[in-house]
Amino acid sequence: MANDSDQTHQQQHDLIGSYFLDLWRLKSQTASASHSKDVNMTNPDNEHEQLEQDDDDDEPVPTELDTLNSSGWFSIVLPDKLSVKYPSVNLHGHDVGVVQANCPAPVKRLFYYFEMYVKNAGAKGNVAIGFTNEGFNLRRQPGKNGQVVGTVEKDVKGRLYPTVAVHSQNEEVSVNFGKDPFLFDIKAYEAAQRAKQDTSIERISIPQTASYGIVRSYLQHYGYEETLNVFDEANQTSVPPVTGFHDNGFNEHAMYALNHRKILRKLIMNGQIDDALRNLHEWYPETVQDDTSAICLMLHCQKFIELVRVGRLEEAVDYGRNQFEKFYNLKQYEDLVKDCATLLAYGEPSKSSVGYLLEDSQREKVADAVNAMILSTNPDLKDQGSCLHSYLEKLLRQLTACFLQKRLLNGNQGEAFHLQRVLLAKNS
């Protein structure tokens, strides 16, 4: 049996390999989900948007007034469930007819809005609007004819119900939860709110070397040797020269095996999997030693995909028969191998639910996986995790995690973090 250090080496390699398999699996799941929704799959941007929307759409929103928990005799909700009127003649201070919406206001968004229309102000005009929880604590934000009059900061945790109340004879109001267009210019309000957020962020100043360092480390990490050289040259002749961080040992290990990694990436992006495998066996045999490892799976599957791509289907079938058998025994790979095999079922595989396999993004995943494996062979390596991501991705993850953590601390209220929104934010 392999000795201890080999085994740990193997386990470490498979941690890296299985990370990329997980990424593949995620892609497979989203691809089939969006394919079944009849979304145009060859438009990757579209698919990404879909993912963004799923989070917030799940939250239920008020649609009508609640007829079950009513204030007894003091209000009558009309059959359309959107209007309320005050029935009796009593004008006692306590005799307020309060009605809530059928569900609390959603919190996973920037703000929530609803409107009330006074059909009949009745004898005294004592209508009210606001938000309440189970008790009857009204918070009111009166407005008038489409303009904001005042707001109240929400300093309460727990779900709040949009609420209206009537109090005197003949009063009648109706609510609008969004079925009809609002009178208040909600879009302008939203834009103003977002602009306020953007301005406060714009004012943060960051050192120039931060962006520069991140870009450079990205190129190093993914093995873009030629691009890195061009970039370095451009910066040497730049005025003023960019200085001040080479000294920090910024990501030194990413220069490791740069040339080999560049070559392998090129081969894989070109579909030359056999050449890639040959090089790996020659230069970094330990990465492909175990033929049932995740990285071998990815490479063999990619070879299969390349054969299908050029229509050499018989060869593909033969190759599949030879190579996939050993993977079929490993449960964790089943679904991915199945996806590959499914390619054979279609006359036009690129239009099927597994069409994503034929895209460049799949080649890129394999290239990234091979890249990470090679980085993991660096004897000076201190942290395995650093093979998986460049600083850019680490920064993005940190940003996402912090943002969501912040929302969590706020009782999980507020918008979901949408990286796209940050990236597409308007700049002044």
Partner 1 sequence: MTERDVARKRWAGQQPVAPLFSLRLDRLPLVVPVSLSLAVCCVVGVVKLHVGPLLRRQPPLTSSNQLSAREGYKAVRYAVKKINDKDSHNIILSYLIHGCYKDTLESLVASTGLNVTTAQLEDMEKRKRILHSALEGKALDAIHLTEQMSPDLLENNKDLLFDLLSLHFVELICSRKYTEAIEFGQAKLTPFGKVQKYVEKLEDFMALLAYDEPEKSPMFHLLSLEYRQHVVDNLNRAILANAYMPSYSKLERIIQQATVVRQCLSEELGKDVLSPFSLKDFLKRS
Of residues 226-245, those binding partner 1 (CB under 8 A): 226-227, 230-231, 233-234, 239-240
Site for partner 1 (CB under 8 A): which residue of 21, 65, 98, 374?
Answer: 98
Site for partner 1 (CB under 8 A): which residue of 253, 260, 261, 303?
Answer: 253
Residue 297 or 367: the one with the smaller Cβ distance to partner 1 is 367
Query: Which residues, 6+ apart, have CB-to-CB distance to 347 below 8 Å?
Result: none
Site for partner 1 (CB under 8 A): which residue of 2, 207, 330, 332?
Answer: 207
Site for partner 1 (CB under 8 A): which residue of 33, 61, 77, 113?
Answer: 113
Site for partner 1 (CB under 8 A): which residue of 36, 94, 311, 348?
Answer: 94
Closest CB 50 distance from partner 1, rounded Å: 11
- Under the binding rule (CB under 8 A), the answer on residue 215 touching partner 1 is yes
Strands (E), 167-296: 172-176
Closest CB 267 distance from partner 1, rounded Å: 12
Give the helix/strand (H/E) hosting 173: strand 172-176
Query: Which residues, 6+ apart, have CB-to-CB distance to 187 below 8 Å?
Result: none
- Under the binding rule (CB under 8 A), the answer on residue 188 touching partner 1 is no
Q: Which of residues 395-414 bind partner 1 (CB under 8 A)?
A: 395-414
Closest CB 232 distance from partner 1, rounded Å: 9
C-beta separation of 349 from 31 below 8 A? no
- Under the binding rule (CB under 8 A), the answer on residue 372 touching partner 1 is no
Q: Which of residues 10-49 bind partner 1 (CB under 8 A)?
A: 22-23, 26, 44, 48
Structure tokens belonging to residue 314 = 């018989």
Residue 94 or 321: the one with the smaller Cβ distance to partner 1 is 94
- Under the binding rule (CB under 8 A), the answer on residue 112 touching partner 1 is yes
Structure tokens belonging to residue 171 = 């009063």
Residue 29 or 292: the one with the smaller Cβ distance to partner 1 is 29
- Under the binding rule (CB under 8 A), the answer on residue 386 touching partner 1 is yes
How close are the terminal C-alpha atoms of the chain, in Å?
64
Structure tokens belonging to residue 355 = 């069409």
Residue 113 or 283: the one with the smaller Cβ distance to partner 1 is 113
Residue 159 or 326: the one with the smaller Cβ distance to partner 1 is 159
- Under the binding rule (CB under 8 A), the answer on residue 53 touching partner 1 is no
Cα→Cα distances 140→106, 107, 118, 152, 173, Å: 18, 18, 16, 8, 16
Provide the 8-state DSSP code for 101.
B
- Under the binding rule (CB under 8 A), the answer on residue 195 touching partner 1 is no
CA atoms within 13 A on the CB side of 331: 0
Closest CB 313 distance from partner 1, rounded Å: 25
Site for partner 1 (CB under 8 A): which residue of 267, 296, 343, 368?
Answer: 368
Closest CB 417 distance from partner 1, rounded Å: 6
Q: Which stretch binds partner 1 (CB under 8 A): 299-307, 313-321, 337-345, 356-364?
A: 356-364
Structure tokens belonging to residue 229 = 């050289």
Strands (E), 285-369: none
Q: Which of residues 272-301 bind partner 1 (CB under 8 A)?
A: none
**Site mask for partner 1 (CB under 8 A), range 123-162, x = bound:** -xxxxxxxxxx-xxxx-xxxxxxx-xx-x-xxxxx--x-x
Q: Which stretch binds partner 1 (CB under 8 A): 31-39, 211-219, 289-297, 322-330?
A: 211-219
Alpha helices per DSSP H over 37-113? 44-57
Number of residues that bind partner 1 (CB under 8 A): 133
Residue 321 or 382: the one with the smaller Cβ distance to partner 1 is 382
Cα→Cα distances 200→162, 185, 204, 210, 423, Å: 31, 24, 8, 20, 16
Structure tokens belonging to residue 109 = 């968004």
Residue 251 or 287: the one with the smaller Cβ distance to partner 1 is 251
Q: Which pairing describes strands 172-176 and 115-120: parallel, antiparallel, or unpaired?
A: antiparallel
d(CA 305, CA 45): 23
Give the helix/strand (H/E) hosting 366: helix 360-375
- Under the binding rule (CB under 8 A), the answer on residue 265 touching partner 1 is yes
C-beta separation of 356 from 27 below 8 A? yes
Give the helix/strand (H/E) hosting 143: strand 143-144
d(CA 254, CA 217): 7
Residue 362's φ and ψ, nearest 5 degrees, are -70, -45
Closest CB 132 distance from partner 1, rounded Å: 8
- Under the binding rule (CB under 8 A), the answer on residue 69 touching partner 1 is no
Going edge to edge, which strands form the sheet with 115-120? 76-77, 83-85, 172-176, 115-120
Site for partner 1 (CB under 8 A): which residue of 169, 272, 364, 377?
Answer: 364
